[in-house]
Structures are given as C-alpha cells and as structure tokens.
Structure 1
Amino acid sequence: SAHTIVAPAAWGFRPRPPRAPFLSSPIRQPRLRQRAPASESAPSSPAMARLVDLLWRAVMAEPSLDAQLAGVVLAAVATKLLVLLVRAFVRATTHAHGKPRPWYLRAVQVEQRKLTTMLGVKDPQPEWAAAMWVDWWAIGLTHGIGGALCLPAVAMGPTAMACRLARWGALVEVGWEVTDLAERWYQRLCTKDGHIFQPAALLALACLHHPLACCLVIPMNICYPTMPLYFQMVFLLMFAASSALFVSNWAQTLDVSSTGGLCKMVLGSFFLWAMLIFTRLTYYWTVVFALLQRFDED
C-alpha cells in the first residue's frame, strides 16, 4: 500500500520491560554502626555520683552529719561572697567622687570611740575603724538572712519546707563564723599590720563567741531537725543581732547636734531597747527554759 506502518522495532527502539511493583523491589537497609555499651564508652564514676548525692542532700539540709558538714561549706562560700559584695557596695556608697561623705566620717569617729571603750585600744587608726564599720553592715545582713530563713517555721509551724529553711538559717550563721575566724587569724598571722587590725582582745572575743554556734548547730540540726523551739531560738538570736547592728550603724551617721539628728537617735535607741527587752529579757528566757525542759525529758 502507499502508506506502510513501520513497527517501532524498525526505528531502533526497544520495548521497555514491565516495571516491578513498588513494594516488590528490594529496599536497601542502612548500615547502622554498632555502639559500644555505656559502661564501655563512658566509664562510670561512683565518686562523682556520691558527690552529687552529697550536694543534693546538703541543699535539702538533710539531718545527717555528712550533709550538714557539706552545708557548712556551702554556707561559708555563700556568706564570704556576700560579705565581699557588701564591702564593695558600702565603700562605693560612702564615697562621692573619691571623697568620703560627711556622715561617713562621723560614723568612723564614733567607731573609733567604740573600739577604745570595748577593746581598750588607745587611738585606733581611722582605717581600722572604717573597716570595722563597713563589716558591721555585712555581719548584720548575714544575720538577717539567717533569721529570715527561720521565720516561716516560727510563723507557720514546722512544715517540711519550713524546717529545711530554718536549718539553713542556722547553717548560715555557722558558715559566716567559720569564714570570719579564718579571715581574722589570717590577718593576724600572715599580714604586715595584723596585730593592729586584729588585736588580741578582738580575737579573744571572736574565739569565745563563734564556737558556740559552731558546736551546737550541727548537733541540733541532726537531733532536733523539726523542733519549733530550736528554730525560735535561732530566730531570736539572729534577728535581734541583725536589728541591733543595722540600727547602731545607721545611728552612728547621725548628726546629733541638730534637732532632726537627735530625734532620730532617740527613736533608734528606743527601738533597740524594745528589741533587746523582747529578744533577750522576756520571751528569750521562755524559750530557753522550754528548751532545757525538752532536753531534760529526752
């Protein structure tokens, strides 16, 4: 015929073989690397696990000896950092453009007279008196923090969290006293003017005062970890000390030659007397006798 249909094979094409169904084609599985067991790739560290456990129990103020000792170390580090920050802040506040403010100079003069009266030091150096006045602010703040941590147990009763905070409040006092003793002895023995800034009378006072809390807090935290009377005693001691230090340091800056300064001094003195009567002469002894009775019963 005039028109001949040529087969596709004649054009050089080959028929495509039928495609296999999708699911019937083999799937190449990825080769996974075999990892070594955890015990082989990262060796276990029992010492690290014990350290983490100890730190956790210390943070929780667990009534055990190792946890309490670790808590003292943590409290000592925290209180030392706090003292350094307070010192820097107070020194920056008391000076303007590199010059001491007038109220700061008045406070230093009063501190010099206090050192002469309390420790019998004749003509104490202004630098020493200034350092003492600055440190009183830091000491008052640490005592205030310790007392504040005891406040929930005193106000709301011995719940688990309140008792934990109260035990930490007592540990804050121990931590500060440990660092304070260490710093004073270091200044006395290892610095050039140690005998001036840490005289024998001041060291004796610190060595008589600090061991009381250092020797009693840890046994009380272990043996009486939820005792309300114990927390009340810690609160009374630390809150009264904090209030007295803050008001006393503030009062030293007042100009009592003016009417306003004299009135502020009278109000501050009245507040201190009221605080001392409550925390040292009246309710204080009620708590003391109740504690002694509890100890006798046990």
Structure 2
Amino acid sequence: MISVSASMGAVVNHLRNFIFDEKATAIEILPIVVMFAVLWYVTFFILRKIIRKLVHNKQWLIEALERDYDRSAKKIFDDLKMEMTKEEAIQWSMNDWPRMQCIYLQHFIGSLFCIPSLLGMGDPYVTSSLACLGVLSEMGWEVQDMAEIFFVRTFHKNGKEVWPDSIVFIFALHHSLTTVLGVPMIIYYRTHRALHWLCFDLQMAGFLGLALGEYTKLLNVNEPKQLGRFKIANLVALVTMTWTRVFHWTYLCGQLFVTWYNDRAWVFLVFGVILSIGFSMFSFLVCVKPFYKKFIKLLHVSEEYEKLPLDAAIELRRASTVNLELAVAELLEENETRDLSHVMESIFASRQVSRRHTVSIAKSVPQQVIGRKRHSLIMAKDFAEKLKQK
C-alpha cells in the first residue's frame, strides 16, 4: 500500500514538474495531453452513468425528448431507416442525453484554468502554467474525440458511412487550431495573454453554446414565459458566439500575428494565419451567420404568435403554432455543417460516376453526427437492431 502511494506521489510530482516547467519540451508536454485524453474519457464514462441514474424517466426530460422527437428526431431516425417506435426512440435518446452534458462541462472546466491569469491573480508564473493546462485539457479532449471517430471508421462495419471523409475533414479542421499550435505556443509563448484569452473564449463559448442549447430544448415554447426564456437564452448564445468567434477572436489573432512578425517567427505566422483563416471561415459560415438568420426569423415568427388576439380563429392559431414550432426546430438544428460537407464531398469523392454519387449527403451524413447533439449513431443502430431481434 505504501509503495502504491509512493508511486502515485512520484507520478504527481513528475507531472507537476512538467506542468510548471517553463522550459518543458514537446516530448515532456505530450504525456500530459495523453493524460487529459484518458482522464476525460474515464470522467465521461463515470459521469454519464451518474447523470443517467439521476434523470432517467424524469417527466421533464421525457416531455422535452417528445418535443424534440416531433420536431426533428423522427425524421432523422427515418432517414437512418431505424425501425423504432416513438417510445423506443425517446428511451434511446434518454440514455444518450447525459453525454452532451459531459461535453459542455468539460469545456467549462477547461476555461476555469485561464481565469487566474486573465484576472491577474497571483504569481504570473503559476497562472500562466494553469492557463496552459487549459490548452492541454482541450487538446486532450480533442485527441480522444478524434480517436473515437477514427476508431468507428476503422473497426465498425459502416464506420465510413457514419463518419465520411468530408465530415472528418471538417472536424479535423475544427480541432486543428489547438492540436497543431497548442504545444508550440506553450513552449514559446506560454505567458502571452492572447493565448490565455483564446483558450478561455473558445472553451467558455463552447460551454455556453452547448449548455444553453440543451436548456432551450427543455422549454415548451407554446407557453409565453418559456418562449421568453427561449429567446433570451438564444440571444445570449448569439452574443457570446459573435463576440468570441468574430470580434474578440479577430483582435486576439491580430495580437498574435504582430508578435510573431516582430519575433520573425515565420513558421508560427504562416501556420497561424492559415489555421486562423480556416477556423474563422468555419465559425462565421457554420456558426454565427446561420444562427443569426434563424434567430431573426424566430423573432418575427414569435412576434406574430404573441400578437394573436385571444379570439383568433382556431385555424389561424394552429397555423401560427406550427410556424413557431418549425422556427424553433430550425434554430435548434445545425444543417450548415451538412451544407459545408457538400463542398468537402466534391473534393474527396471520386470523379468517376458511381451509384454512391446519387446518394444525397443529407442522408449519408445524418444531422445527429454534425449537429450540436452529436448522438452516437453506432449505438442508435445497434439499439434498433436489438429491438428488431426481440
């Protein structure tokens, strides 16, 4: 027992030395990334089980999943040719619901590492090291996320259908900024506040966006108070997204570009500009612009719904309710990644005409893979197959 404790203590001291070592090399830093990847995988596994026990068969969750099923999930299951009744689909969604809660909690925890540095709390040597831990934490999560994607593609019989080349490329692009520049930035610019701000902004924005998205799915927009909360939550998400992914992002990238130029760090400058442009395009085209358009549409539709007189005809009220539900469903969906995948598909697809080219990308890349929810399609299909065998 003593030897085990001593070994654990030695490991902790070993990691602490590397974490707070300003001269740590890439070889010394990478094990910390692997440690975070394993840590988040194990944490997700445990948290999912705990959350699942807490929320399973809760009425508020069942009602929310029923609304989500009627809005969009039913069509997704039909596109996947998954023969599941509404009750079975809701049961599966309920079992998978805790996973998204784990993802936004991971982003929240990662952002907390940066706060001491941003607020100037304590020794800059220590706070910079903590902020770098936030970067390494995000790298660890992204590494295990990509590892899961490639595991499915490699070992599952229809893995390349679930994760086609175009979508893998998009997610690789999304993860590339941290995974490619993370370790070099920590080695050479670990005390740069722009690095700490970028880490905080992107992780906090991820937390707020995902958390508010999950919260809004629990709301019944047919009730005036909940409709108001729905609009406020999405407004907060839009403002956060616009600030962190457009305005503050551009300012911080500019600071880094100037630093790299002054330091004649041409490799940093070239790769940083390329990756930043790619990430900026992804953020604006896939996140900010479409979300803004759909949010404005929701405001117009909800205004018409709220202005209906109490004595409005039943047909008019029903039509207004349907329009509101459609606007809500459209806002909660994220079809823009699917649209972007059309472009990527043309790059990766063979130029020879084949039967595969006649298949719509909308069917081969289900929204569950590319939307905020990102359900496990493998689990869903296996679940459906088990139901058919019963």
Q: Give TM-score, length-normalised by structure 1.
A: 0.71
* Structure 1: tracts of 5 or more residues without a match: 1-49
Q: Could you tell me which of 6, 10, 17 is aligned with 1:57?
A: 17
Match in the other structure for 1:103: 64
Paired with 1:113 and 1:170, the residues of 2 have a C-alpha distance of 38
Residue type matched to 1:70 in 2?
Answer: P
Matching of residue 78 in structure 1 with residue 39 in structure 2 = yes
Match in the other structure for 2:103: 139
Task: Check conservation: 1:278, 1:284, Cα contact below 8 A.
Answer: yes
Structure richer in helix, relative to its length = 2
Match in the other structure for 1:203: 168
Match in the other structure for 2:194: 229
Match in the other structure for 1:43: none
Match in the other structure for 2:29: 68
Which deviations, in whole Å up to 9, do the C-alpha atoms of 1:10-60 show, x marking residues without a partner? xxxxxxxxxxxxxxxxxxxxxxxxxxxxxxxxxxxxxxxx97875343343
Match in the other structure for 2:249: 284
Paired with 1:113 and 1:57, the residues of 2 have a C-alpha distance of 52
Task: Check conservation: 1:94, 1:101, Cα contact below 8 A.
Answer: no
* Structure 2: tracts of 5 or more residues without a match: 1-9, 83-88, 264-390
Paired with 1:261 and 1:124, the residues of 2 have a C-alpha distance of 34
Task: Check conservation: 2:36, 2:140, Cα contact below 8 A.
Answer: yes
Q: What value does the CA root-mean-square deviation take over the aligned residues?
A: 3.4
Task: Check conservation: 1:61, 1:67, Cα contact below 8 A.
Answer: no
Task: Check conservation: 1:144, 1:238, Cα contact below 8 A.
Answer: yes
Task: Check conservation: 1:55, 1:67, Cα contact below 8 A.
Answer: no
Task: Check conservation: 2:107, 2:207, Cα contact below 8 A.
Answer: yes
Paired with 1:61 and 1:104, the residues of 2 have a C-alpha distance of 48
Paired with 1:280 and 1:259, the residues of 2 have a C-alpha distance of 31
- Report the alpha carbon displacement of residue 207 of structure 1 after superposing the two structures with TM: 2.3
Paired with 1:293 and 1:166, the residues of 2 have a C-alpha distance of 21
- Report the alpha carbon displacement of residue 173 of structure 1 after superposing the two structures with TM: 0.6
- Report the alpha carbon displacement of residue 131 of structure 1 after superposing the two structures with TM: 7.2
- Report the alpha carbon displacement of residue 182 of structure 1 after superposing the two structures with TM: 1.0
Q: How many residues align?
A: 247
- Report the alpha carbon displacement of residue 81 of structure 1 after superposing the two structures with TM: 1.6
- Report the alpha carbon displacement of residue 105 of structure 1 after superposing the two structures with TM: 3.5
Percent identity, please: 24
Which deviations, in whole Å up to 9, do the C-alpha atoms of 1:83-113 show, x marking residues without a partner? 2233223333442289962223434565738
Cα distance 1:186–1:232, how it changes in 2: closer, same or farther (>3 A)? same
Task: Check conservation: 1:143, 1:242, Cα contact below 8 A.
Answer: yes
Paired with 1:90 and 1:195, the residues of 2 have a C-alpha distance of 31
Task: Check conservation: 1:170, 1:217, Cα contact below 8 A.
Answer: yes
Paired with 1:235 and 1:99, the residues of 2 have a C-alpha distance of 32
Task: Check conservation: 2:194, 2:255, Cα contact below 8 A.
Answer: yes
